[in-house]
Chains A and B, each alone.
Chain A
Amino acid sequence: QKEVEQDPGPLSVPEGAIVSLNCTYSNSAFQYFMWYRQYSRKGPELLMYTYSSGNKEDGRFTAQVDKSSKYISLFIRDSQPSDSATYLCAMSDSNYQLIWGAGTKLIIKP
Protein backbone atom coordinates (compact mmCIF):
# COMPACT_ATOMS: atom_id res chain seq x y z
CA GLN A 1 0.00 0.00 0.00
CA LYS A 2 1.32 3.43 -0.95
CA GLU A 3 1.64 6.06 1.77
CA VAL A 4 -0.43 8.49 -0.31
CA GLU A 5 -3.18 7.42 -2.68
CA GLN A 6 -4.58 9.70 -5.36
CA ASP A 7 -6.84 8.81 -8.28
CA PRO A 8 -4.95 9.69 -11.49
CA GLY A 9 -8.12 10.46 -13.42
CA PRO A 10 -8.56 12.04 -15.85
CA LEU A 11 -11.43 13.99 -14.34
CA SER A 12 -13.42 15.91 -16.94
CA VAL A 13 -16.03 18.49 -15.91
CA PRO A 14 -17.84 21.36 -17.64
CA GLU A 15 -16.77 24.94 -17.10
CA GLY A 16 -18.36 26.47 -13.99
CA ALA A 17 -18.68 23.17 -12.13
CA ILE A 18 -17.38 22.56 -8.62
CA VAL A 19 -14.41 20.23 -8.68
CA SER A 20 -13.44 17.93 -5.82
CA LEU A 21 -9.96 16.38 -5.78
CA ASN A 22 -8.96 13.97 -3.03
CA CYS A 23 -6.08 12.08 -1.47
CA THR A 24 -5.93 9.50 1.29
CA TYR A 25 -2.90 8.65 3.36
CA SER A 26 -1.78 6.08 5.88
CA ASN A 27 0.90 7.85 7.96
CA SER A 28 -0.66 9.54 10.99
CA ALA A 29 2.58 11.53 11.52
CA PHE A 30 1.88 13.76 8.53
CA GLN A 31 1.30 17.35 9.67
CA TYR A 32 1.68 19.46 6.53
CA PHE A 33 -0.61 18.97 3.58
CA MET A 34 0.01 20.63 0.23
CA TRP A 35 -1.62 20.86 -3.15
CA TYR A 36 0.56 21.52 -6.16
CA ARG A 37 -0.65 22.33 -9.66
CA GLN A 38 1.32 21.23 -12.69
CA TYR A 39 0.61 22.48 -16.18
CA SER A 40 1.77 20.44 -19.14
CA ARG A 41 5.53 20.62 -19.69
CA LYS A 42 6.02 22.71 -16.53
CA GLY A 43 7.22 21.97 -13.03
CA PRO A 44 4.74 21.73 -10.15
CA GLU A 45 3.84 24.97 -8.34
CA LEU A 46 2.50 25.23 -4.80
CA LEU A 47 -1.19 26.07 -4.81
CA MET A 48 -2.18 25.71 -1.16
CA TYR A 49 -0.89 24.29 2.08
CA THR A 50 -2.58 23.41 5.36
CA TYR A 51 -1.10 22.62 8.73
CA SER A 52 -2.97 19.98 10.72
CA SER A 53 -6.76 19.71 10.34
CA GLY A 54 -9.36 22.14 9.09
CA ASN A 55 -10.21 24.22 6.06
CA LYS A 56 -8.31 26.91 4.23
CA GLU A 57 -9.76 29.10 1.53
CA ASP A 58 -7.99 31.13 -1.14
CA GLY A 59 -10.22 32.65 -3.76
CA ARG A 60 -11.94 29.87 -5.69
CA PHE A 61 -9.85 27.18 -3.96
CA THR A 62 -10.56 25.48 -0.63
CA ALA A 63 -8.26 22.91 0.96
CA GLN A 64 -9.72 20.59 3.57
CA VAL A 65 -7.92 18.18 5.89
CA ASP A 66 -9.60 15.47 7.95
CA LYS A 67 -6.87 13.84 10.01
CA SER A 68 -9.26 11.45 11.73
CA SER A 69 -10.12 9.92 8.35
CA LYS A 70 -6.64 10.52 6.85
CA TYR A 71 -8.31 12.28 3.94
CA ILE A 72 -7.59 15.60 2.25
CA SER A 73 -9.53 17.44 -0.43
CA LEU A 74 -9.14 20.37 -2.77
CA PHE A 75 -12.30 22.08 -4.00
CA ILE A 76 -12.34 24.40 -6.98
CA ARG A 77 -15.42 26.61 -7.40
CA ASP A 78 -16.51 28.13 -10.70
CA SER A 79 -13.94 26.05 -12.56
CA GLN A 80 -12.31 27.62 -15.61
CA PRO A 81 -10.56 26.06 -18.64
CA SER A 82 -7.34 27.59 -17.28
CA ASP A 83 -7.68 25.28 -14.26
CA SER A 84 -7.00 22.32 -16.53
CA ALA A 85 -3.82 20.79 -15.17
CA THR A 86 -2.56 17.92 -13.05
CA TYR A 87 -3.10 18.43 -9.32
CA LEU A 88 -0.70 16.68 -6.97
CA CYS A 89 -1.16 16.32 -3.25
CA ALA A 90 1.94 16.18 -1.07
CA MET A 91 2.41 15.62 2.63
CA SER A 92 5.17 15.77 5.16
CA ASP A 93 5.90 15.11 8.80
CA SER A 94 8.17 17.21 10.98
CA ASN A 95 11.17 16.13 8.88
CA TYR A 96 9.67 18.05 5.94
CA GLN A 97 10.39 15.39 3.34
CA LEU A 98 7.51 15.49 0.90
CA ILE A 99 5.56 12.35 0.05
CA TRP A 100 3.64 12.79 -3.19
CA GLY A 101 0.41 11.47 -4.61
CA ALA A 102 0.33 10.32 -8.24
CA GLY A 103 -1.53 13.44 -9.38
CA THR A 104 -5.03 13.82 -10.82
CA LYS A 105 -5.36 15.13 -14.34
CA LEU A 106 -8.21 17.66 -14.46
CA ILE A 107 -9.88 18.76 -17.69
CA ILE A 108 -12.32 21.67 -17.69
CA LYS A 109 -14.44 21.65 -20.83
CA PRO A 110 -15.54 25.09 -22.16
Chain B
Amino acid sequence: SAVISQKPSRDICQRGTSLTIQCQVDSQVTMMFWYRQQPGQSLTLIATANQGSEATYESGFVIDKFPISRPNLTFSTLTVSNMSPEDSSIYLCSVEDGARAYEQYFGPGTRLTVT
Protein backbone atom coordinates (compact mmCIF):
# COMPACT_ATOMS: atom_id res chain seq x y z
CA SER B 1 0.00 0.00 0.00
CA ALA B 2 1.12 3.55 -0.74
CA VAL B 3 2.52 5.72 2.05
CA ILE B 4 1.47 9.35 1.83
CA SER B 5 2.81 12.35 3.68
CA GLN B 6 1.39 15.85 3.84
CA LYS B 7 2.90 19.18 4.79
CA PRO B 8 2.07 21.12 6.84
CA SER B 9 0.21 18.99 9.32
CA ARG B 10 -1.59 22.05 10.63
CA ASP B 11 -1.57 25.79 10.22
CA ILE B 12 -3.33 28.88 11.46
CA CYS B 13 -3.70 31.55 8.77
CA GLN B 14 -5.15 35.00 8.50
CA ARG B 15 -8.06 35.69 6.21
CA GLY B 16 -7.10 36.89 2.76
CA THR B 17 -3.85 34.91 2.65
CA SER B 18 -3.09 31.69 0.78
CA LEU B 19 -1.71 28.34 1.94
CA THR B 20 -0.13 25.64 -0.20
CA ILE B 21 -0.44 22.05 1.00
CA GLN B 22 2.01 19.45 -0.25
CA CYS B 23 1.29 15.76 -0.78
CA GLN B 24 4.11 13.27 -1.35
CA VAL B 25 3.63 9.57 -2.23
CA ASP B 26 6.29 6.87 -1.89
CA SER B 27 5.39 5.29 -5.24
CA GLN B 28 4.25 6.44 -8.65
CA VAL B 29 0.50 6.81 -8.96
CA THR B 30 -1.73 7.97 -11.78
CA MET B 31 -4.57 9.58 -9.90
CA MET B 32 -4.42 11.75 -6.81
CA PHE B 33 -7.40 13.23 -5.05
CA TRP B 34 -7.89 16.21 -2.79
CA TYR B 35 -10.67 16.15 -0.19
CA ARG B 36 -12.04 18.49 2.42
CA GLN B 37 -13.37 17.12 5.69
CA GLN B 38 -15.31 19.44 7.96
CA PRO B 39 -16.17 18.40 11.52
CA GLY B 40 -19.08 15.99 11.64
CA GLN B 41 -19.43 15.92 7.88
CA SER B 42 -18.52 13.49 5.16
CA LEU B 43 -15.46 13.79 2.99
CA THR B 44 -16.04 16.13 0.08
CA LEU B 45 -14.00 15.66 -3.07
CA ILE B 46 -12.45 18.92 -4.25
CA ALA B 47 -10.66 17.72 -7.36
CA THR B 48 -8.89 14.86 -9.10
CA ALA B 49 -5.32 15.46 -10.24
CA ASN B 50 -3.75 13.42 -13.02
CA GLN B 51 -0.13 13.96 -13.95
CA GLY B 52 0.25 15.90 -17.17
CA SER B 53 -3.26 17.25 -17.35
CA GLU B 54 -5.41 19.90 -15.73
CA ALA B 55 -7.11 18.93 -12.51
CA THR B 56 -10.81 18.09 -12.67
CA TYR B 57 -12.85 20.04 -10.13
CA GLU B 58 -16.11 18.96 -8.51
CA SER B 59 -19.19 21.09 -8.42
CA GLY B 60 -18.74 23.99 -6.03
CA PHE B 61 -14.95 24.12 -6.30
CA VAL B 62 -13.07 26.32 -8.77
CA ILE B 63 -9.49 26.52 -9.92
CA ASP B 64 -9.06 30.17 -8.90
CA LYS B 65 -9.84 29.28 -5.30
CA PHE B 66 -8.12 25.87 -5.17
CA PRO B 67 -5.32 25.74 -7.75
CA ILE B 68 -3.66 22.34 -7.97
CA SER B 69 -0.31 21.29 -9.38
CA ARG B 70 0.75 17.77 -10.32
CA PRO B 71 4.30 18.03 -11.64
CA ASN B 72 5.11 14.31 -11.46
CA LEU B 73 3.70 10.92 -10.48
CA THR B 74 4.63 11.20 -6.78
CA PHE B 75 3.77 14.77 -5.83
CA SER B 76 0.90 17.26 -5.83
CA THR B 77 0.04 20.56 -4.20
CA LEU B 78 -3.27 22.18 -3.33
CA THR B 79 -3.41 25.91 -2.68
CA VAL B 80 -6.25 27.44 -0.70
CA SER B 81 -6.41 31.02 -1.96
CA ASN B 82 -7.77 34.20 -0.43
CA MET B 83 -8.83 32.29 2.65
CA SER B 84 -11.86 33.02 4.81
CA PRO B 85 -12.94 31.39 8.10
CA GLU B 86 -15.26 29.13 6.07
CA ASP B 87 -12.15 27.45 4.63
CA SER B 88 -11.23 26.15 8.08
CA SER B 89 -11.21 22.41 7.63
CA ILE B 90 -9.05 19.32 7.29
CA TYR B 91 -7.62 18.85 3.81
CA LEU B 92 -6.69 15.33 2.76
CA CYS B 93 -4.92 13.95 -0.26
CA SER B 94 -5.39 10.39 -1.38
CA VAL B 95 -4.29 8.03 -4.13
CA GLU B 96 -6.03 5.02 -5.54
CA ASP B 97 -4.70 1.50 -5.76
CA GLY B 98 -4.22 0.86 -9.48
CA ALA B 99 -5.63 -2.65 -9.27
CA ARG B 100 -8.65 -1.67 -7.20
CA ALA B 101 -9.79 1.81 -8.12
CA TYR B 102 -12.24 1.99 -5.21
CA GLU B 103 -9.46 1.49 -2.66
CA GLN B 104 -7.87 4.76 -1.71
CA TYR B 105 -4.94 5.51 0.57
CA PHE B 106 -5.00 8.74 2.49
CA GLY B 107 -2.44 11.10 3.90
CA PRO B 108 -2.71 12.22 7.53
CA GLY B 109 -4.40 15.47 6.57
CA THR B 110 -3.69 19.17 7.01
CA ARG B 111 -5.71 20.91 9.70
CA LEU B 112 -6.31 24.49 8.62
CA THR B 113 -7.71 27.23 10.81
CA VAL B 114 -8.44 30.62 9.28
CA THR B 115 -8.82 33.55 11.67
Q: Which residues of A contact B (CB under 8 A)?
A: 4, 6, 8, 32, 34, 41-46, 49, 88, 90, 92, 96-98, 100-103
C-alpha gap A43/B36 in the complex (Å): 11
User: Are B102 and A43 in touch, CB under 8 angstroms?
Assistant: no
Q: Point out residues on B near A: beta carbons under 8 Å.
A: 4, 40-45, 92, 94, 96, 100-109, 111
Query: In the assembled complex, how far is the CB of residue B3 from the closest CB belonging to chain A, in whole angstroms?
Result: 11
Q: For A92, list chain B residues within 8 Å (CB).
A: 102
21 contacts across the A-B interface (CB closer than 8 A):
A6-B42, A32-B102, A34-B102, A41-B111, A42-B108, A43-B4, A43-B92, A43-B106, A43-B108, A44-B92, A44-B106, A46-B104, A46-B105, A49-B103, A88-B43, A96-B101, A97-B45, A98-B104, A102-B40, A102-B42, A103-B42
CB distance B103 to A100 under 8 Å?
no
Contacts between chains A and B (CB distance < 8 A), count? 51
Give the top 3 A-B pairs by smallest Cβ distance, nearest first: A43-B106, A96-B101, A100-B42
A46 contacts across to B, CB distance below 8 A: 103-105
Given A32-B102, A41-B111, A88-B43: 4 more A-B contacts, CB < 8 Å: A43-B108, A44-B106, A46-B104, A96-B102
Shortest distance between the CB of B43 and any CB in chain A (Å)? 4
Cβ B109 vs Cβ A42 within 8 A: yes
Q: Which residue of A lies closest to B101 (CB)?
A: A96
Residues of A within 8 A of B101 (CB): 96
**B10 CB, min distance to chain A CBs, angstroms:** 9
| CA of A6 to CA of B43, assembled, Å | 12
Among A4, A101, A103: residue with most chain B CB under 10 A: A103
Closest-by-CB residue of A relative to B44 is: A100
**A45→B41 CA distance, assembly (Å):** 17
Complex interface: chain B residues within 8 A of A43 (CB):
4, 92, 94, 106-109
Contacts of A97 in B (CB 8 A): 45
